[in-house]
Amino acid sequence: MRFPAFLFSMAMIAASSGCSGDQAGPADPQPAAKPAAPKAAAAPARRHDESSYAEPDKVRITDLALDLKLDFDTKQLAGTATYTLDWTDPKATRLELDTRELSIGQVEGEADGAWAPLQYALADADPVFGSKLSIEAPQRNAKIRVSYHTAPTASGLQWLEPAMTEGKQLPFMFSQSQAIHARSWVPLQDTPGVRFTYSAHVTSRPDVMVLMSANSDPKMQRTGDYRFRMEHPIPSYLLAIAAGDLVFKPTGERSGIWAEPAMVERAATEFEDTEKMIQAAEGLYGPYRWGRYDILVLPPSFPFGGMENPTLTFATPTVITGDKSLVSLIAHELAHSWSGNLVTNASWKDIWLNEGFTTYVQGRITEALYGEEMANMERQIDQAGLKADLAGMGEEDQALALPPLTERDPDNALSQVAYVKGSWFLEFLEQRFGREVFDPFLRGWFDDHAFQSADTDQFVAYLKQNLLPKNPNAVTAGELDAWLNQPGIPAFAPLSQSRTFSNVDTARIAWRGSSQLPNRQVTDDWGTQAWVHFIEGMGQTLKPEQLKQLDEAYHFTGTANGEIAMRWYPLAIRSGYLEARPAAGEFIERVGRRKLIMPVYQELVRTPDGLTFAREVFARARPGYHPITTASVEALLARADAAKPATAEAPAEPQKQP
């Protein structure tokens, strides 16, 4: 998933779950429990996932079969989840599952071809981790089935009324499972350390198309009855479902766009290079192993830039600008097909193994298709953003290999450190060893750990065995430690430099000194990245008359480009340029992508009248926001209430751009 640089911590809604059953059904309710600490005899501590109640060292889900009814009227998914289990501990007789706000109806185990009720207990809800579902299985059943339904407020699902969609004719729903939101719509071992295949039978109203992160056939017809199968083992956070007024447009033999009819042509044109991206990645890191690569363009309320669900990337419409200037987001989500989906971090404290590798691969794809200069511009923007973020970040969060997350929401581990410092580290290795050595090494990592979950210790061991001996003097132990375990960016980190940005800096400095705008022959060639750099270099404030001059020349206020808007509106608000406020309000009301809107909210809440305005906009926008976005804005507003308006800061929040 591609997260941005301006994200804020999500206040999770405390979950409450009801349960019912008969015969040997529910046991006495259990008190709220925290995920268990690793035991001495368990797997290495680095692999232990502090964010899950599951005990995969005792029993693992190897296959999941879903049979669900999708109901727009009740805003619920209801049905059964059937698990095929591998009991690895000969003494284990209990299956521990993660849930959040799920109502459990019945739990059964299969024995000798028949299903019989099993004793179970659902713990009280923890505000971050949800409720542990403990299932007693004295016969160590090979299959267990849970009947359940979701809550309308499930954190991993969003239900949109027709008016909130592009076409405004049919309702829409979609999931967002990362990091630990899958447990809000399926009871399972919600940890990236457990991988399973899955199948699904989903029924719905017949006028909507249902898709999942599996074999969604482009030729599927709307019948209200759909079947899916994912043949490769995936972690729970890659479970995905969507339903709405969706049509398909191919972009290649194995790629295409799913979107609402009013959006599909624009999206297909914007993302027409998808097949070329796949080929570029294959040339570097080996064959694409997932069959199809399709993109689902979601409504603007999607809280992230993209989500790398296997075979079906979820993407925000905010990157469709008409000039392909933001298609690196697709390069990022595609890159996850190797780093993240194929080789997955075993726990969220090693998220850099997903996002750092993916950001590096994204840059290589961008370079292959759009040139080294485009890749360098994006790297320079990322590196500058990371340096700014580090100034307000605790040292413990600045290492790539994070310490145990204990009671922290794993969303808070998703910072720009994982994305940019992780990628920067790989760029450092590439520079020290050369691409002719580093590229085969990275491909080997993907091949040798395909469809597995890994941790930082495993990567370091692989590095020492397969790369460092190629040039024993290239990297010291101290340099590795600085990247992996120490705060900040090492002083010896290679810096990306863009020639275009040097010209942008010259034009900005000249304007600041003379009030003479750059020659149009210069700015006509600037793309999104150049304008972003132009605005970011303005400093904290400008005079209102300066902003007006820029606005009259470049029409920043009202721009449809979210990357420009997220930088222009905060600058305008800080500088007292009130002419931009109505358009800023319209922007954060219309768009739900947290990267784009949270910087605007953050600046508004710094003053009493801005806070009032922010509350008014949020009241109108809230029905169309995703639960994750809603929680982020609520946390910011609550923090502003508790602080002096002039100094209210945004809470720290996870970073996935996508």
The residues annotated with a catalytic role in the active site are 333, 419
Helix axes 435-448, 274-285, angle to 10 degrees: 100
Cα angle for residues 483, 488, 493 (degrees, 5° grid): 55
> In this structure, how many other beta carbons lie within 10 angstroms of the beta carbon of residue 488?
16
Do residues 98 and 53 lie in contact, with contact meaning Cβ atoms separated by under 8 Å? Answer: yes
> CA torsion sign, 143 to 148 to 151 to 157?
positive
Q: Is the peptide bond before 179 cis (omega within 30 degrees of 0)?
A: yes
Instruction: Match 């002083």 to its residue by tokens.
Output: 491
Return the C-alpha torsion angle 422, 534, 604, 396, nearest 10. Answer: 20
Helix axes 608-621, 627-642, angle to 10 degrees: 160
Spell out the residues 6+ positions from residue 34 whose beta carbon is closer than 8 angstroms to its own: 126, 129, 407
User: Given the DSSP bridges, would you call strands 131-136 and 120-122 parallel, antiparallel or unpaired?
Assistant: antiparallel
Q: Left (φ > 0), alpha (ψ -120 to 50) or beta: where does 285 sit?
A: alpha
Do residues 137 and 171 lie in contact, with contact meaning Cβ atoms separated by under 8 Å? Answer: no
Return the C-alpha torsion angle 645, 647, 652, 657, nearest 10. Answer: 80
Spell out the residues 6+ positions from residue 315 whose beta carbon is closer than 8 angstroms to its own: 295, 296, 297, 298, 302, 305, 306, 329, 330, 333
Give the DSSP letter string of 259-279. E-HHHHHHHHHHTTTHHHHHH
Instruction: Match 């590439």 to its residue by tokens.
Output: 430
Name 94's bridge partners: 136
Do residues 103 and 21 lie in contact, with contact meaning Cβ atoms separated by under 8 Å? Answer: no
Give the DSSP letter string of 410-462. GGGG-SHIIIIIHHHHHHHHHHHH-HHHHHHHHHHHHHHTTTEEE-HHHHHHH
Q: Which amino acid is at 649?
A: E
